[in-house]
Structure 1
């Protein structure tokens, strides 16, 4: 699977702490540093693209999950 640098950084961040819920702002800071000119919406774009590459059915993600009102998490293999 090929990823863009941004997708890779996001996936790497999530893999380091599976099950942890990250806000968009946290993910932006952890992947882009202190770049104040980038919108947190770029995280949503990366998540959408990663789901297309990783999920069996991107419309019903099982790995890269949305935590409504908070952000995103990578679900461990055991589904926790």
Structure 2
């Protein structure tokens, strides 16, 4: 069986503007949720809105930090609605 591919998306920006390593230590739920999905057999990537552009890998899970906004992450048009 193929592992499910999971993208965990957090559009809440840290008001303190902490750098990635510090934010991963401070926001434990960000890592706990990703780790739980990975332990269940999913392939996980995390996208975290941040003032910093960087990627960190912890326990085999890539955490991507960047200036994403809700407007930038649009829901794609379902295939059945496309012309």
Fold-level similarity (TM above 0.5): no
Determine which structure has greater relative contact order: mean sequence separation of CA pairs < 8 Å that are 6+ residues apart, divided by chain length.
1
TM-score, normalised via structure 2 length? 0.28
The structure that has the greater radius of gyration is: 2
As a proportion of its length, which structure holds more strand?
2
TM-score, normalised via structure 1 length? 0.29
